[in-house]
Amino acid sequence: MPVLEVTDLTKSYVSPEGERNIIVNVPRFVLEDGQQVALRGPSGSGKTTLLHLIAGILQPDSGEVRIADAPFSLLPEAMRDRARATLLGYVFQTFNLLQGYTALENVMLGMLFGPGIHRGHAEELLVRVGLKDRLNYRPRQLSVGQQQRVAVARALANHPKLVLADEPTGNLDQKNAKEALTLIREVCREQRAALLLVSHDPAVLGQFEKVQDLTAINQTGGKDVLVIGH
């Protein structure tokens, strides 16, 4: 069963000059349960916009996003927020941790809108990502590599079906980047979550067996949509 089904998804922005630019135009994109796929695209090609649309952070102009067979993008906002918390995990390039809270609290806060707060599970995840001795540290007391590990633990906190990762290693040095990527892939596999990662970095993309070019699925700029099957 597909964990993610994107159909006829479009999003345009109006530029400061008043021009409407189509940024996302994806006729069809499907991710199977448990699959790990990397989307390759240069800076400005719409990777973040596409992930925001999939996560329901942005509303599409048209089209549909189904997650685990639920019409995610068509849900009313409150239901979508709740569904997002239980179905999706999101790993940001800039981590997006809450600075006033500890590592453990950041992961537990991620559980707030999900199935419920389980301190034990939050601790287990942090131990799994190698932060056994850092549970009570705040983000600024952690290295950037450790901060991203907290973000990975938080993304998995509610047993999501799908993890979205937006250039998750873009702010890490080479060694930390490699370790973080291996960790994300292993933890997603262990927790049976599919992984959709976007990146422009050949070193990151090279670690995936399945890499797709964003340009192959995203046909921006055109009004006549050409459907590419998968």
**Residues binding Mg ion (CB under 5 A):** 47-48
- The runs of H, that is alpha helices, within 38-170 are 47-55, 77-87, 103-110, 119-128, 144-155
Using alpha carbons, select from 121, 56, 119 the residue that is nearest to residue 82.
56
The listed partner (Mg ion, ligand ADP, none) that binds 147, CB under 5 to 8 Å by sort, is none
Of residues 48 and 102, the one with the C-beta less far from Mg ion: 48
Pattern 190-209, ligand ADP, x by CB under 6 A: --------------------
The listed partner (ligand ADP, Mg ion, none) that binds 41, CB under 5 to 8 Å by sort, is ligand ADP
Distance CA 230, CA 217 (A): 10
The listed partner (Mg ion, ligand ADP, none) that binds 184, CB under 5 to 8 Å by sort, is none
For the segment 21-60, give every residue that binds ligand ADP (CB under 6 A): 23, 41, 43-49
# residues near ligand ADP by CB under 6 A: 10
Question: Which residues, at least 6 apart from 17, have a Cβ–Cβ distance to it below 8 Å?
Answer: none
Using alpha carbons, select from 165, 170, 218 the residue that is nearest to residue 196.
165
The listed partner (Mg ion, ligand ADP, none) that binds 44, CB under 5 to 8 Å by sort, is ligand ADP
Taking CA atoms, 56 is separated from 90, 140, 173, 207, in Å, by: 11, 29, 30, 28
Distance CA 185, CA 207 (A): 10
Q: How far is the CB of 168 from ligand ADP (least distance, A)?
A: 13
Residues lying near ligand ADP in the complex (CB under 6 A): 13, 23, 41, 43-49
